[in-house]
Amino acid sequence: MRLHRNLVLAVIDSLNYIFNDGQYADKVVERTLKRDSRWGVRDRKFIAETVYDCVRWKRLYNEIAGTKNHFTNENLWKIFAVWATLKGISLPDWKQFDGTPVRRIKGKFDELQNQRVYKESIPDWLDSLGEKELGSQWPKELHALNQQAEVILRVNTLKTNKIELQKTLSSESIETFPLANYPNALQLTERKNIFTTSAFKNGFFEVQDASSQLVAAFLDVKPGMRVVDACAGAGGKTLHIASLMENKGQIIALDIYANKLAELKKRAKRNSAHNIETRHIDSTKVTKKLHDSADRVLIDAPCSGLGVLKRNPDAKWKLEPEFIEKLQQTQAEILHDYSKIVKKGGKLVYATCSILPSENEKQVENFLKNHKEFTFIEEKKILPSVSGYDGFYMALLEKID
């Protein structure tokens, strides 16, 4: 593989925004890829995958490069040189690579393989927390979360079906295959930009991880129901609920962020999902008006996001112990407040994209202790090491009549 200077510069610039300015990797990559219209599929793939690799393995590469967490321009080139060397790529005769100790890089990499915090590139405190909560399961999850995420599509059944979508995408040179046990999922055979396809513009699919696609189905919705998505965000699961309800009934999508609900409206239009009403939670009145009124309530609670590190590897560098503690408090409050929206005989799903029991089954246990009007039906724990997809948790509860 030959390195091209303009592509490497794009990677270095991106890492500078992520490591020094604290910007989110996905947003930086998205912006960088728009920089030069002449870049082809392979160029864009190189930039995106290299940036994500350097973010994912930040601690390991930083230790090998001896850059001591100082991400100056010179040090970012050293980190890139580590990445290239470990990938078996010959370094070109550029001044930035003068004196790169190729043999020492390989030796140091081998030496660090017996220390998990370097081998799996994770902060000490997060490694300790994972081990404390998951015990012997933690190393397996950590390893699985360091793999590259697959691109999974959810077929929008309001507009098409799996077989038709496969044909449509294939005509645009995008090959997919169906996944067993995920009724509306298609996986891309090879990573490609699918957002420029006519199938996307026509609302035939959404990008949604296979594990995430299990949540709406778990809510057990039926056409004609009144459903509240209490933490809807930009609405990936809301749209899935709409398709399962065949556009019949009412979905009220709530969120504290108005900009996310604006994005949901755009997506709903593209999806032809007509039964969604968005409501911005700008005061407690919004939720109080809904008390005892919904057949189903989905609480896709804010969480650490530890189950989705495959696609958001920068989260492990942004998380802090205090933040996780505060989150757990928020989760308990949200569960308490929004459970009041469920009517008698109605059902509630509490879900997170975390794999920590303290954010998941422990929250549900505590809630049930203090809310005798709810009964536990079932739960699903989805581990990345087992499923190959994102880590998720979901619990189905019923309000006793």
Q: Is 91 helix (H, G, I), strand (E, B) or coil?
A: coil
Distances (CA, A) of 311 to 48, 116, 139: 12, 21, 18
pLDDT grade for 245, boundaries at 50, 70 and 90: very high
Looking at the annotation, which residues are catalytic? Answer: 353
pLDDT grade for 119, boundaries at 50, 70 and 90: very high
Closest alpha carbon to 241 in 257, 254, 255, 225: 225
Average confidence score pLDDT of the chain? 96
Are the CB atoms for 355 and 306 separated by under 8 Å?
yes
Q: Tell whether pTM > 0.75.
A: yes
Residue 216 tokens, joined: 């709406």
Domains 5-118 and 213-399 share a fold: no
- For residue 76, the one-letter residue type is L
Are the CB atoms for 67 and 78 separated by under 8 Å?
yes
Hey, what CATH topology would domain 213-399 get?
Answer: Rossmann fold (3.40.50)
pLDDT digits (tens, 9 = 90+) for 167-186: 999 999 999 999 999 999 99
Percentage of the chain exceeding pLDDT 90? 98
Confidence check: pLDDT of 54 > 80 = yes
pLDDT value of residue 56: 98
Average pLDDT (42-59) is 96
pLDDT value of residue 238: 97
pLDDT digits (tens, 9 = 90+) for 364-382: 999 999 999 999 999 999 9
Confidence check: pLDDT of 107 > 80 = yes
CATH match of 5-118 with 1.10.940: yes
Confidence check: pLDDT of 192 > 90 = no
Size of the chain, expressed as the number of residues it contains: 401
Percentage of the chain exceeding pLDDT 70? 100
To which H or E segment does residue 344 belong? Answer: strand 342-352
CATH match of 152-207 with 2.130.10.10: no
pLDDT grade for 289, boundaries at 50, 70 and 90: very high
- Residues in Cβ contact with 287 at an 8 Å cutoff, skipping those fewer than 6 apart: 230, 254, 281, 337, 338, 340, 341
Residue 355 tokens, joined: 């794999």
pLDDT grade for 58, boundaries at 50, 70 and 90: very high
pLDDT grade for 191, boundaries at 50, 70 and 90: confident
The domain locations on the chain are: 5-118, 152-207, 213-399
pLDDT grade for 18, boundaries at 50, 70 and 90: very high
CA distance linking residue 94 with residue 384, whole number of Å: 40
Average pLDDT (284-288) is 95
pLDDT grade for 68, boundaries at 50, 70 and 90: very high
pLDDT value of residue 365: 98
Dihedral sign computed on CA atoms, order 245, 251, 256, 257: positive
pLDDT grade for 401, boundaries at 50, 70 and 90: confident
Average pLDDT (11-38) is 96
- In b/e form, how buried is each residue of 266-299, taking b as 16+ CB within 10 angstroms? ebbebbebebbebbbbeeeeebeebeeebbbbbb
| β-bridge pairing 226-229 and 250-255 | parallel
| DSSP notation for 197-253 | SHHHHTTSEEE--TTTHHHHHHTT--TT-EEEETT-TT-HHHHHHHHHTTT-SEEEE
Closest alpha carbon to 256 in 333, 313, 185, 202: 333
- For residue 273, the one-letter residue type is A
pLDDT value of residue 1: 86
pLDDT grade for 63, boundaries at 50, 70 and 90: very high
